Amino acid sequence: MIFISSSAEDWRAKYPGLTPIIAQCSACGLALVTDRPFVERGYAGLAVGACSCGRNENLADVRVTTSSETNARWRSKLEMGVEEAAAEQETATDDKREGQEMGDLMDIEIARMKSRHKALMRRMVLRLAIALLLGAAFVYLCGKL
Ligand SMILES: [Zn+2]
């Protein structure tokens, strides 16, 4: 972050997207306005200055991108008609619905796997019981002979 020796007014005239905000000092709670122009890689902004208490550590800031390409994209989004915005929302809802259907299918698949597992366990227990029964009968018969 490089601070610019220009007035906040000039800076806002240069970057109209910059809206100053009021932030509280992290130490004393005093309201501070973002009025220190700065630049940072790809961004221009306004940050709060040092508080009169001299103990604020947070450096609240507002910033806008200096990239003209990103700015153009934002502007076109803002200017996008209400109809288009509604259409976009509709698509989002469809996506969500599709996602939910996928989730339901997965639930069904999991339930199916669980019941298959249960059936397998039941068969195993049954076989074990039969084996034990046969073993007991064999031992009983051997004892008789
Ligand atoms: Zn303070």
Tens-place pLDDT, residues 88-107 = 656 666 666 666 666 666 66
pLDDT tens-digit readout, 15-29: 888 988 998 898 899
Name residues with Cβ closer than 5 Å to ligand 1, which is an ion. Answer: 25, 27-28, 30, 51, 53, 56
Give yes or no for a contact between 57 and 78, defined as CB atoms under 8 angstroms apart: no
pLDDT tens-digit readout, 33-47: 999 999 988 889 999
Q: Where are the alpha helices (DSSP H) in 1-145?
A: 8-14, 68-79, 82-144
Cα 21 to ligand 1 centroid, rounded to whole Å: 16
Quick check: 58 pLDDT over 80? no
Q: Is residue 42 in a domain?
A: yes
Give yes or no for a contact between 35 and 23, defined as CB atoms under 8 angstroms apart: no
Q: Is residue 118 in a domain?
A: no
**CA separation for the pair 111, 113 (Å, rounded):** 5
pLDDT band at 84 (very low <50, low <70, confident <90, very high): low
Q: Is residue 34 in a domain?
A: yes
Q: Is residue 143 in a domain?
A: no
- Amino acid 97: pLDDT: 62
Q: Is residue 20 in a domain?
A: yes
Cα 49 to ligand 1 centroid, rounded to whole Å: 10
Cα 57 to ligand 1 centroid, rounded to whole Å: 9
Residues 6+ apart with CB under 8 A from 47: 1, 3, 34, 36, 38, 59, 60, 61
Q: Is residue 47 in a domain?
A: yes
Q: Is residue 108 in a domain?
A: no
- What mean pLDDT is reported for the chain? 80
Phi, psi of 63 (to 5 degrees): -150, 155
Cα 140 to ligand 1 centroid, rounded to whole Å: 93
Task: Note down the domain range covering 67.
Answer: 2-73
Counted domains in the chain: 1
Taking the model in full, what pTM does it have? 0.46
